Chain A
Amino acid sequence: MSDKFHVTSAFAVAFLVASASPVLAQDNKTGGKVTVVTSFPKDVTEPFKKAFEKAHPGATLEVQNRNTNAGVKYIEETKSANQSDLFWASAPDAFEVLKDKKLLQKYALKAAGIPAKIGAYPINDPDGHYFGFAMSGYGIMWNERYIAANKLPLAKEWSDLSKAAYFDHVAMAAPSRSGTTHLTVETILQGEGWDKGWRTIKEMSGNFRTVTERSFGVPDMVNSGQVGYGIVIDFFSFSATASGFPVKFVYPSITTIVPANVAIVANAPNRAGAEAFVEFLLSPAGQEILLEKSVRRLPVRPETYAKAGPDYPNPFNDPRLGSMVKFDVDKSGERSSVVSALYDQLVTFQLDGLKAATKAVHEAEAALAKKDNAKARGLVKEARDRIAALPVNEKDASSAEVRGAFVGAKKDEKNPRQAELEQRWAAFAKDNYAKAKAAAEEARKLVR
């Protein structure tokens, strides 16, 4: 390289230093505009904005609302001239994506007094790229008017939702569309094992009214009474109850508590302001805002719970919460897109077939309960096994071949493309659901 290059780069460095100095100068004041990209609704962001601006006079929090996916993409696409200081959202996997792409700034937290783990799940990213500020657990939400009108029993566990009584009354978001639902599915898979877990998930899914394409679609349907039960993250239900909707919520025994996070974006234009906001969020004052009626999330500071009401769930002393499942983050991350695609191909896009088979099984079992028949019992078992059948086993799901199909591996004739795999899985499910339905119907005829 010529000298000219060095001269130019020297100028460039000088320019960068010069242009960075206003930011450095701001260090002590932490003033100016702090831009945060978030998936949280206004009800949540507004109280924090007000309190933060009050605590840091001169600072303004500029809130950009985008759903989690759009937010990740926005930060990715704008990295060349980044204007965002913070990313603030629920799903830990979104933060993992950004971290892998080196779009998050490492930061050493000053706030003390926050435990390292909740159950088996680390509250903060061990590498210091993002920080849990609130916790949430998945569970079952229901509309009291709906279940009274339809005379439905209460459901407390995931397996309850697969009983015949709940057919067509339940909704969940697709794990491919909702990071938190994905965590729930993965929690069940890790808690019950691959095969048994999928059986639970598919038996439950056979009762679904619908699989929604956004997380908030589920609480929306429960709130308005379109479905009776929804599988949702806790705060959706807490804030709905606080707004006066006739809904309630329960944590099943297999659940995991996961943190919602905040991170500083790499090359943040107002780094000092961003750091100030993170510290504020985790300070005792910031944590207390989580208890407000419209926010309703579980603080990461154990002492904050002293200020909450007695019926406020506390994962730090509730033995049910967080201790059940040793959640393996790496395993989850490794097969994340495979699990999402499997669910979509086996359930989301085959819901009609799955429901028809499930309904036939329910009817056959109801008939069997009245009048037993060994052959029919065998047929029903066959139907149930067909519904639960999987096109890939646990080992293959994490195999290089299958994962390669999703990231796009190098040219290799043997490697299937994602579209081919998906077609194979969908055809497998469709065929099995049709046969399951036929078997269950035959069983019912035998009993009649």
Chain B
Amino acid sequence: MSVSAAPVAWASRAPRIDFGVAAAAVLIALFLLFFLVVPAVMVVYVAFTEKGTGVFTLVNFLDFFATDLLMASFWNSIWVAGMTVAVASVLALPLAAITTLFKFRGAILIQTLGIVPLIMPPFAGAVAMQLLFGRNGTINLLLDQWLGLKIPFMEGLNGVIFVQAIHYFPFILVNLSVALRNIDQAMEEAAQNLGCSGFRLFRRIVFPLALPGYMAGAALVFLKVFDDLATPLLLNVKDMLAPQAYLRITSIGIDDPMGYVIAVILVVISVAAMALAARAVKDGDFATTQRGGGGLARRSMTRGEEIAAYATVGLILLLVLAPHVGLLLLSIGTVWSFSPLPDAYTLKHYATVFSESAGYIKNTILYAGLAAGIDVVVGGAIAYIVLRTRLVGRQGLDLLATAALAVPGVVLGIGYLRTYYGVTLPGGVPMATLWIMIVLALAVRRLPYALRACSAALHQISVSLEEAAENLGATKVRTVRRILVPLAVGGIMAGFVTSFATAAVELSATMMLVQGTADAPLAYGLYVYMQSPAGRGPGAALGVIAVLLVAVCAFLSHIVIQRSGISKGVER
């Protein structure tokens, strides 16, 4: 499957370990140690102890395999995660292909809208989904009225797959689009010169070259769905692993070992899945030396193709943006109960949240922005160390960072309190109460997204470009700055956007760490509203604000990507 003939010149890299690289690796390892491993271990070690006595034991793991409910949950989780990848691919592939392989107006709009489904604010999103797709939601009420039937969109495992695919398909869309855009046109032209075209061209050239991006996205979807608890809980599906862990930890208590046994099993499976995905990509060499080809040649579409493309895009967008339409209706509706649409419309919910939303918005941008910034720096560095150096234990960094996906937010939150509450700063303030701790928790939880995006980007860049720079006398730092970062900017931005977008609506770890309204992000304000009937409208209004905020940021970053492309002469 080797596509490029890039000379692998290991001889030219001296076996000496670069001091700067080693120092960076140690710093990252310390970061992960202090803000992921130690807090998680402070809580999770309970899995290995006997209840009541605290003596070390493995009997809890035997109990896990002897419990029907947990074994059923285990297989359900695997099935749902796998099927979600399949459904999400069906949604993402046409959008990615139409916007990157063809001349299609509005491509940037689709790429931006493609991010929006990721931003499903907690609780408000759930209510909106139920109001549209639920048993007595808009669609089923209308179907019942006209045809006398109902479709159980939101029921059981299939409901989870449906909602998860809508929610997480952007992971595939974003990573795949970046990969497609980075494919060198010369590859395609060479193949065409040799008489290859149509589906064969796609199968033999485009598909293999875009595989790292697709795999990065698919792996993220799998892991995210495997570890996600919000969606199953919103659909009241409890026989899956993540909800089981959450339910046990939060209802039976923090000292119950089984919850953490499940958490440990989640971590193990996640890391294994990640390793498997990495292996699938590793077997091939996907890097190309040529850059600046600006992706594949964009074909013009015939009139018929154009109509078909618009119809496809329209249908998919209608489906995946439906929850947000529901959210918007909820935020401007008065009472919405057992009816296809709200009874009446009003703007008063926005007036209710107007005065306080400024503080929430500021905090959200600050926290999610800082967290995503940390993520691309740390994630980029890890990707570089793993793919470009021979540092001992480099894979360990990757796996460790990825394991963060599987640590439930509430566990990390409690772990932070347990580890850092006793640490008082000058002035007697416990360290855990600083807002920067929320940023760190968000950064750790979203690091895997940025890491996967950065690694996929780096995978596509041939080592020989860097070697050429070094041969010309550039230092390592200069090479990274002038060669790698510009070439990988698309992937880095994709990582930033996914980290930012998802951090902006995260609640589970934040909830433990927020110290008061002044430090609270939007998701927390939304949670506070969504606990009462009168708060449903204002909560939805905050949800709409959150979605708009992230969408605007995503749009701006796309423009940044394009501008930086233009300045390098990529877009001709």
Asked whether any CB of chain B lies closer than 8 Å to the CB of A160, the reply is: no
Q: Given A41-B535, A224-B131, decide whether A410 and B238 contact each other with a Cβ distance below 8 A.
A: no
Q: Given A44-B532, A243-B533, decide whether A224 and B233 contact each other with a Cβ distance below 8 A.
A: no
Query: What is the CA–CA distance of A30 and B50 in the complex, to the nearest angstrom?
Result: 47
Q: Given A77-B414, A417-B63, A419-B258, decide whether A223 and B53 contact each other with a Cβ distance below 8 A.
A: no
Asked whether any CB of chain B lies closer than 8 Å to the CB of A157, the reply is: no
Chain A, residue nearest B134 (CB):
A226
Asked whether any CB of chain B lies closer than 8 Å to the CB of A253, the reply is: no
Contact A423 B338 (CB under 8 A): no
Across the A-B interface, the 8 shortest Cβ-Cβ residue pairs: A408-B52, A225-B338, A408-B51, A41-B532, A419-B63, A240-B533, A41-B531, A145-B338
- Could you say which residues of chain A place their CB within 8 Å of the CB of B339? 145, 225
Q: Can you name 18 A-B pairs with beta carbons within 8 Å? A: A62-B516, A64-B514, A65-B524, A66-B512, A146-B136, A177-B247, A213-B243, A219-B533, A223-B533, A243-B534, A246-B335, A294-B534, A341-B252, A348-B238, A417-B51, A419-B64, A423-B66, A423-B69
Extra pairs beyond A219-B533, A243-B335 (18, CB < 8 Å): A41-B529, A42-B528, A63-B516, A73-B512, A77-B418, A177-B250, A216-B531, A224-B131, A224-B338, A225-B337, A242-B534, A245-B335, A246-B335, A246-B337, A410-B53, A419-B60, A419-B258, A423-B63
Query: What is the CA–CA distance of A247 and B337 in the complex, to the nearest angstrom?
Result: 10
Asked whether any CB of chain A lies closer than 8 Å to the CB of B59, the reply is: yes
Instruction: Fill in one digit per residue for B296-336: 1 if any A CB lies within 8 Å of its CB, else 0.
Output: 00000000000000000000000000000000000000111
Contact A224 B53 (CB under 8 A): no
Query: What is the CA–CA distance of A149 and B511 in the complex, to the nearest angstrom?
Result: 39
- Could you say which residues of chain A place their CB within 8 Å of the CB of B421? 77-78, 80-81
Contact A143 B517 (CB under 8 A): no
Distance (whole angstroms) from the CB of A83 to the closest CB of chain B: 7
Q: Given A224-B127, A239-B534, A408-B50, decide whether A35 and B516 contact each other with a Cβ distance below 8 A.
A: yes
Distance (whole angstroms) from the CB of A108 to the closest CB of chain B: 29
Asked whether any CB of chain A lies closer than 8 Å to the CB of B290, the reply is: no
- Could you say which residues of chain B place their CB within 8 Å of the CB of A432? none
- Could you say which residues of chain A place their CB within 8 Å of the CB of B53? 408, 410-411
Q: Given A83-B430, A177-B251, A417-B51, decide whether A64 and B515 contact each other with a Cβ distance below 8 A.
A: yes
- Could you say which residues of chain A place their CB within 8 Å of the CB of B55? 411
Asked whether any CB of chain A lies closer than 8 Å to the CB of B479, the reply is: no
Q: Which of B233, B414, B516 contacts A73 (CB 8 A)?
A: B414
Contact A210 B130 (CB under 8 A): no
Distance (whole angstroms) from the CB of B242 to the closest CB of chain A: 12
Asked whether any CB of chain A lies closer than 8 Å to the CB of B67, the reply is: yes
Distance (whole angstroms) from the CB of A44 to the closest CB of chain B: 7
- Could you say which residues of chain A place their CB within 8 Å of the CB of B533? 219, 223, 236, 239-240, 243, 245
Query: What is the CA–CA distance of A284 and B254 in the complex, to the nearest angstrom?
Result: 39
- Could you say which residues of chain A place their CB within 8 Å of the CB of B336? 224
Query: What is the CA–CA distance of A219 and B532 in the complex, to the nearest angstrom?
Result: 9
Residues of chain B at the chain A interface (Cβ within 8 Å): 50-53, 55, 59-60, 63-64, 66-69, 127, 130-131, 134-136, 233, 236, 238-239, 243, 247, 250-252, 254-256, 258, 334-339, 410, 414, 417-418, 421-422, 424, 428, 430, 432-433, 511-512, 514-517, 524, 527-536
Q: Given A146-B136, A212-B236, A226-B136, decide whether A42 and B430 contact each other with a Cβ distance below 8 A.
A: no
- Could you say which residues of chain B place their CB within 8 Å of the CB of A125? none
Contact A176 B67 (CB under 8 A): no
Distance (whole angstroms) from the CB of B210 to the closest CB of chain A: 40
Distance (whole angstroms) from the CB of B135 to the closest CB of chain A: 6
Query: What is the CA–CA distance of A73 and B252 in the complex, to the nearest angstrom?
Result: 12
Q: Which of B243, B337, B410 contacts A224 (CB 8 A)?
A: B337
Q: Which of B239, B255, B535 contacts A43 (CB 8 A)?
A: B535
Distance (whole angstroms) from the CB of B360 to the closest CB of chain A: 13
Query: What is the CA–CA distance of A238 and B527 in the complex, to the nearest angstrom?
Result: 21
Contact A223 B337 (CB under 8 A): yes
- Could you say which residues of chain A place their CB within 8 Å of the CB of B530? 216
Distance (whole angstroms) from the CB of A92 to the closest CB of chain B: 17
Contact B233 A213 (CB under 8 A): yes
Contact A211 B535 (CB under 8 A): no
Distance (whole angstroms) from the CB of B107 to the closest CB of chain A: 37
- Could you say which residues of chain A place their CB within 8 Å of the CB of B243? 213
- Could you say which residues of chain A place their CB within 8 Å of the CB of B52? 404, 407-410
Q: Given A41-B535, A243-B533, A244-B334, decide whether A226 and B135 contact each other with a Cβ distance below 8 A.
A: yes
Asked whether any CB of chain B lies closer than 8 Å to the CB of A283, the reply is: no
Distance (whole angstroms) from the CB of B509 to the closest CB of chain A: 11
Asked whether any CB of chain B lies closer than 8 Å to the CB of A11, the reply is: no
Instruction: Fill in one digit per residue for A406-427: 1 if any B CB lies within 8 Å of its CB, else 0.
Output: 0111110000011110110011
- Could you say which residues of chain A place their CB within 8 Å of the CB of B428? 81
Q: Given A73-B254, A176-B251, A224-B131, decide whether A422 and B338 contact each other with a Cβ distance below 8 A.
A: no
Interface band, chain A = 35 or more
- Could you say which residues of chain A place their CB within 8 Å of the CB of B63? 417, 419-420, 423
- Could you say which residues of chain B place their CB within 8 Å of the CB of A219? 533
- Could you say which residues of chain A place their CB within 8 Å of the CB of B512? 66, 70, 73-74
Distance (whole angstroms) from the CB of A39 to the closest CB of chain B: 8
Asked whether any CB of chain B lies closer than 8 Å to the CB of A69, the reply is: yes
- Could you say which residues of chain B place their CB within 8 Å of the CB of A200? none
Of A69, A219, A408, which is in contact with the most chain B CB atoms at under 10 Å from its CB?
A: A408
Chain B, residue nearest A40 (CB):
B531
- Could you say which residues of chain B place their CB within 8 Å of the CB of A213? 233, 236, 238, 243, 247
Interface residues of A in 49-68 (CB under 8 A from B): 62-66
Query: What is the CA–CA distance of A349 and B73 in the complex, to the nearest angstrom?
Result: 11
Contact B68 A426 (CB under 8 A): yes
Chain B, residue nearest A168 (CB):
B135
Contact A80 B422 (CB under 8 A): yes
Query: What is the CA–CA distance of A112 and B170 in the complex, to the nearest angstrom?
Result: 61
Asked whether any CB of chain B lies closer than 8 Å to the CB of A220, the reply is: yes
Query: What is the CA–CA distance of A382 and B66 in the complex, to the nearest angstrom?
Result: 30
- Could you say which residues of chain A place their CB within 8 Å of the CB of B335? 243-246
Distance (whole angstroms) from the CB of A112 to the closest CB of chain B: 32
- Could you say which residues of chain A place their CB within 8 Å of the CB of B534? 43, 239, 242-243, 294
Chain A, residue nearest B135 (CB):
A226
Contact B252 A176 (CB under 8 A): yes
Chain A, residue nearest B335 (CB):
A244
Q: Which of B134, B250, B433, B535 contacts A69 (CB 8 A)?
A: B250
Distance (whole angstroms) from the CB of B172 to the closest CB of chain A: 29
Query: What is the CA–CA distance of A254 and B190 in the complex, to the nearest angstrom?
Result: 81
Query: What is the CA–CA distance of A226 and B59 in the complex, to the nearest angstrom?
Result: 42
Interface residues of A in 366-424 (CB under 8 A from B): 404, 407-411, 417-420, 422-423
Asked whether any CB of chain B lies closer than 8 Å to the CB of A304, the reply is: no
Q: Which of A35, A43, A217, A411 contacts B532 (CB 8 A)?
A: A43
Contact A63 B424 (CB under 8 A): no
Q: Which of A63, A81, A216, A225 contacts B430 (CB 8 A)?
A: A81
Q: Which of A69, A78, A340 contacts B417 (CB 8 A)?
A: A78
Asked whether any CB of chain B lies closer than 8 Å to the CB of A337, the reply is: yes
Distance (whole angstroms) from the CB of A234 to the closest CB of chain B: 13
Contact B337 A411 (CB under 8 A): no
Distance (whole angstroms) from the CB of B302 to the closest CB of chain A: 46
Chain B, residue nearest A427 (CB):
B68
- Could you say which residues of chain A place their CB within 8 Å of the CB of B131? 224
Contact B67 A423 (CB under 8 A): yes
Q: Given A224-B127, A418-B51, decide whether A41 and B528 contact each other with a Cβ distance below 8 A.
A: yes
Q: Given A63-B517, A146-B136, A418-B51, decide whether A224 and B130 contact each other with a Cβ distance below 8 A.
A: yes
- Could you say which residues of chain A place their CB within 8 Å of the CB of B529? 41-42
Query: What is the CA–CA distance of A403 and B145 in the complex, to the nearest angstrom?
Result: 53
Contact B338 A149 (CB under 8 A): yes
Instruction: Fill in one digit per residue for A329-372: 1 if any B CB lies within 8 Å of its CB, else 0.
Output: 00000000100110000001100000000000000000000000
Query: What is the CA–CA distance of A219 and B247 in the complex, to the nearest angstrom?
Result: 20
Chain A, residue nearest B417 (CB):
A77
Q: Given A63-B516, A81-B428, A411-B50, decide whether A69 and B251 contact each other with a Cβ distance below 8 A.
A: yes
- Could you say which residues of chain B place their CB within 8 Å of the CB of A239? 532-534
